[in-house]
């Protein structure tokens, strides 16, 4: 079994940046095993399996006598889950499933976990099944901010798995002061000591909000052009030291970065060993992201997928998941349940932002294929990717 990597400052997203698709948890299974979750048996008996392809280190495992969610689900329902960790990158996963779903064929997994913007893309392509909502009564527990989200306006195709926020991460030993605004990233005082993420939606989204542009309403490149221009100028002026993946945490702790665009969950973990590292949602607002559960087109075990989703949306179960992964739970009642088992986490504002804070978070709009291509082209030209 793999231990929760808090002490090593290695987060889920950092793990993804440094490894391939195989996770270190004992629940990791090769794609071949995921294929075992077929539909009804030859005699027409109801299926007792379901397959979930998720990101690494993104669920609580069984440790000793403490059962993880997969095993608790099996014990409660009699359904065996073939749990695999096939997600390393959204675009990489898309490339893997496109030849099948794009040609009307099915993939092995009954449940997949794309990030919200990719979920919107799959929905628009017609590659997702509508969820049997009548079989998921616990969907009533979905938190308000995730009801009918921009990537799934009717709420029929997806249920959030976990969520997070992007804002400003900074090393107060280097900045010498608290940071409050997106403009602090462009302060000449920090020239050559600023990091930006290679995740376009968080970097451009945050800069856009600093310019008064709501990223949830962006529909064309022109809508976001001022943010791209501001980023390009900062790069040309030497303000930006580096564009990074999740390895920004190393530069942040060491002081190579005074500040950078960063993710809330990282700082929650880093802060235990590096109290000089802090996180703030800028006064102009921050971006919100979510990884969601979806049933791909033609999945054989959609009924069992619904049972899994219903199980995970029980606040007691969701709290156990949150305690392990330490990202925002989209399930109502989790905070109250978490208070019973981990009061410190239940009081953490990075896990449970108040209503005023939540109101300042925006999810990036779902882009059409041609607009997405333009954004990628322009962002790559700036970052040098």
CB 300 within 8 A of CB 110: yes
Predicted TM-score (pTM) of this structure: 0.74
The least confident of 83-97, 150-164, 299-313 is 83-97
How many Å from the N-terminal Cα to the C-terminal Cα in the chain? 35
250 or 331, which is more confident? 331
Residue of 218, 269, 212 lying closest to 13 (CA atoms)? 269
13 or 102, which is more confident? 102
* pLDDT tens per residue, range 42-91: 334 678 999 999 987 789 999 999 999 999 999 999 999 999 998 877 87
d(CA 20, CA 249): 19
Q: State how far the alpha carbon of 303 is from the alpha carbons of 46, 48, 149, 364, 383, in Å.
A: 10, 10, 23, 31, 44
What are the sequence ranges of the domains in the chain? Answer: 12-163+289-351, 166-288+361-383
d(CA 179, CA 172): 9
Percent share of the chain, pLDDT over 90? 67
| Average pLDDT score, the chain | 87
354 is written with which tokens?
A: 């108040």
pLDDT of 4 > 70? The answer is no
What is the secondary structure of 24-54 as a DSSP string?
SSTT---HHHHTT--SS-TT-PPP-EEEEE-
75 or 11, which is more confident? 75
27-57 as b/e, with b when 16 or more CB fall inside 10 Å? bbbebeebeebeeeeeeeeebebbbbbbbbb
pLDDT of 141 > 60? The answer is yes
The least confident of 155-159, 299-303, 346-350 is 346-350
- Residue 9 is predicted with a pLDDT of 41
12-163+289-351 in CATH: which number? 3.40.190.10
Q: What is the CA radius of gyration of the chain?
A: 21
d(CA 362, CA 114): 18
294 is written with which tokens?
A: 């979806």
The least confident of 161-165, 224-228, 366-370, 376-380 is 366-370
Domains 12-163+289-351 and 166-288+361-383 equal at CATH topology level: yes
* pLDDT tens per residue, range 193-203: 999 998 899 99
Band (369; pLDDT cuts 50, 70, 90): confident
pLDDT of 280 > 80? The answer is yes
- Residue 39 is predicted with a pLDDT of 41
Q: What is the dihedral of CA 142, 325, 360, 372, to 10 degrees?
A: -90
The partner residues of 53 in beta bridges, in order of sequence, read: 84, 112
Return the CATH fold of 166-288+361-383. Answer: D-Maltodextrin-Binding Protein; domain 2 (3.40.190)
Average of pLDDT values for 104-116?
Answer: 96
Write down the H helix ranges in 245-292: 248-254, 264-270
């Amino acid at each position: 079994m793999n231990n929760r990597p808090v002490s090593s400052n290695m987060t889920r997203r950092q793990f993804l940046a440094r490894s391939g698709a195989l996770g270190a948890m004992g629940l990791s299974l090769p794609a071949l095993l995921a294929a075992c979750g077929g539909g009804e048996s030859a005699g027409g008996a109801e299926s007792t399996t379901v397959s979930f392809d998720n990101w690494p280190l993104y669920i609580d495992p069984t440790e000793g006598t403490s059962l993880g969610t997969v095993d608790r689900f099996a014990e409660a329902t009699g359904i065996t889950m073939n749990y695999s960790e096939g997600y390393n990158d959204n675009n990489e996963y898309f490339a893997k499933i496109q030849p099948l779903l794009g040609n009307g064929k099915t993939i092995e997994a009954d449940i997949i976990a794309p990030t919200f913007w990719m979920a919107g893309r799959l929905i628009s392509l017609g590659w997702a099944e509508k969820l049997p909502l009548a079989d998921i009564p616990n969907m009533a527990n979905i938190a308000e901010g995730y009801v009918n989200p921009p990537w799934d306006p009717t709420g029929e195709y997806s249920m959030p798995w976990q969520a997070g926020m992007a804002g400003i991460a900074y090393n107060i030993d280097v900045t010498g002061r608290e940071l409050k605004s997106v403009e602090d990233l462009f302060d000449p005082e920090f020239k050559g000591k600023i990091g930006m993420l290679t995740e376009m939606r968080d970097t451009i989204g945050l800069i856009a909000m600093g310019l008064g542009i709501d990223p949830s309403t962006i529909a064309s490149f022109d809508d976001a052009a001022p943010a791209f221009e501001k980023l390009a100028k900062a790069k040309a002026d030497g303000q930006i030291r580096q564009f990074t993946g999740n390895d920004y945490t190393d530069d942040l702790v060491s002081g190579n970065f005074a500040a950078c665009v960063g993710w809330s969950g990282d700082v929650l973990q880093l802060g235990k060993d590096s109290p000089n590292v802090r996180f703030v949602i800028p006064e102009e607002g921050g971006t919100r992201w979510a990884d969601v559960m979806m049933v791909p087109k033609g999945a054989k075990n959609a009924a069992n997928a619904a049972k899994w989703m219903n199980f995970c949306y029980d606040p007691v179960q969701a709290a156990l998941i949150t305690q392990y992964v330490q990202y925002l739970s989209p399930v109502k009642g989790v905070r109250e349940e978490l208070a019973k088992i981990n009061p410190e986490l239940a009081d953490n504002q990075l896990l449970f932002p108040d209503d005023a804070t939540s109101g300042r978070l925006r999810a990036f709009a779902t882009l059409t294929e041609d607009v997405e291509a333009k954004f990628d082209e322009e962002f790559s030209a700036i970052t040098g990717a």
